[in-house]
């Protein structure tokens, strides 16, 4: 067979397929077509708004306080948020951030927790600041180094930034624990945290205590006028749950972070252990967590969904509860709930659009 014939056999079918794609979807790439086919179930489902009252057991300020107290009791086995202080290394040097602009210093903040867990976070202080702090939380894809562009943009806008990674990820350690009847087990994934649950310990503490202790330290040593929170993916989940518990957080932004459990109809949306922890969501389901994070004077909770996210929570399923929940929160005359759809890209990220929206809201 001649070389020309071989090339024709390969090129002509590819050309015809490309022509076919161009005819039926003139503005779509092949990857877009395959993506939309993958998520056809999500896009084609019934998007009739739900009745929030049937899912949210919160009617007044007392109900808000009661829910928060129940969450604190379960997560920390205590009647109040922990007062624990972390250890701090001032003027810490990390060459990975040596090219940052508007950066005065980095403080490395560490917290030792039960079962040998250690959390490491950085506090970035700008040369020229606005007196406001953003807690930035990265997801499962890696440490907060992956959020370098977001951290830089927030610094450039004058915000100090406390940057966190999820347990087991980034600079955080992966301890080996001895489990009864099983033996030593190295913890590598959050789904393994089910082994840690007991009457005296909740694995959710591993996600939330580092934020609490860092805020304790910052309140004692700095004079920021506002605390806000931003997270992507698993960090978006953390940016949903922690503000629901701690009203020190004014505005929080969860990017590709969660959907109510009843709306997760594809496998990519199921998530890790913390996303479907049975006891947590029996105390406060996702709708209630959204309300708790939204409620309060000058507080607000914002969900940003990437319309074409290749990871999770893509599409427009949020329409089922957006307006009903927004209306529900507005009846308290205290706080705000809003959902934003980002259709500017096809990645699992906080986009330029997302960062601009966040900075504008906080400025």
What does the buried/exposed string (b/e) look like for 219-248 if buried means 16 or more CB atoms within 10 Å of the residue's CB? eeeeebebbbbbbbbbbbbbbbbbbbbbbb
d(C-alpha 209, C-alpha 214), whole Å: 8
The answer, as to whether pTM is greater than 0.95, is no
- Answer for the pair 329, 337: CB distance below 8 angstroms, yes or no: yes
pLDDT given for residue 11 in this prediction: 41
- Average pLDDT by stretches of 10, the chain with 363 residues: 43 40 38 44 66 95 97 97 97 98 98 98 98 97 97 98 98 97 97 96 98 98 98 98 98 98 94 96 98 97 98 95 97 96 98 98 95
pLDDT given for residue 7 in this prediction: 39
d(C-alpha 194, C-alpha 211), whole Å: 22
CA-based end-to-end distance of the chain: 68
pLDDT given for residue 47 in this prediction: 76
- Answer for the pair 177, 187: CB distance below 8 angstroms, yes or no: yes
pLDDT given for residue 46 in this prediction: 67
- Answer for the pair 234, 255: CB distance below 8 angstroms, yes or no: no
pLDDT given for residue 219 in this prediction: 98
pLDDT given for residue 175 in this prediction: 98
Q: What are the tokens at 343?
A: 């259709």
d(C-alpha 281, C-alpha 57), whole Å: 12
Q: Which domains does the chain have, with CATH numbers?
A: 1-38 (no CATH), 50-362 (3.40.50.1820)
Name which of 106, 133, 138, 134 is nearest 122 in CA terms: 106
* Residue 130 CB coordination number (10 Å): 15
d(C-alpha 292, C-alpha 313), whole Å: 21
Distances (CA, A) of 110 to 89, 203, 212: 9, 18, 12
pLDDT given for residue 45 in this prediction: 58
């Amino acid at each position: 067979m001649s070389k020309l014939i071989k090339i024709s056999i390969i090129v002509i079918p590819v050309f015809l397929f490309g022509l076919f794609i161009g005819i039926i979807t003139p503005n779509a790439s092949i990857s877009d077509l395959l993506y939309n086919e993958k998520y056809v179930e999500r896009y084609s489902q019934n998007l009739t708004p739900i009745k929030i009252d049937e899912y949210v057991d919160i009617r007044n300020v007392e109900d808000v306080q009661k829910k928060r107290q129940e969450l604190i009791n379960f997560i920390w086995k205590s009647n109040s948020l922990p007062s624990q202080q972390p250890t701090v290394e001032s003027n810490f040097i990390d060459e990975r951030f040596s090219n940052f602009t508007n950066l005065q210093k980095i403080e490395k903040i560490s917290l030792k927790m039960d079962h040998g867990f250690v959390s490491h976070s950085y506090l970035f202080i700008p040369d020229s600041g606005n007196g406001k702090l953003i807690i930035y939380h990265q997801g499962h894809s890696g440490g907060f180094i992956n959020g370098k562009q977001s951290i830089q943009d927030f610094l450039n806008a004058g915000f100090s930034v406390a940057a966190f990674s999820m347990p087991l990820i980034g600079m955080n350690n992966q301890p080996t624990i001895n489990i009864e009847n099983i033996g030593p087990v190295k913890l590598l994934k959050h789904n393994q945290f089910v082994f840690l649950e007991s009457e005296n310990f909740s694995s959710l503490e591993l996600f939330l205590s580092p934020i609490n202790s860092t805020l304790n330290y910052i309140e004692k040593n700095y004079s920021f006028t506002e605390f806000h929170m931003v997270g992507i993916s698993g960090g978006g989940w953390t940016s949903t749950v922690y503000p629901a518990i701690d009203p020190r957080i004014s505005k929080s932004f969860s990017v590709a972070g969660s959907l109510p459990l009843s709306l997760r109809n594809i496998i990519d949306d199921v998530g890790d252990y913390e996303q479907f922890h049975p006891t947590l969501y029996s105390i406060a389901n996702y709708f209630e967590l959204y309300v708790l994070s939204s409620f309060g004077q000058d507080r607000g909770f914002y969900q940003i969904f990437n319309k074409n996210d290749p990871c999770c929570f893509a599409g427009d399923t949020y329409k089922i509860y957006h307006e009903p929940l927004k209306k529900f929160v507005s009846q308290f005359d205290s706080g705000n709930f809003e959902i934003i759809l980002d259709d500017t890209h096809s990645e699992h990220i906080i986009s330029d659009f997302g960062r601009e929206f966040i900075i504008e809201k906080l400025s």
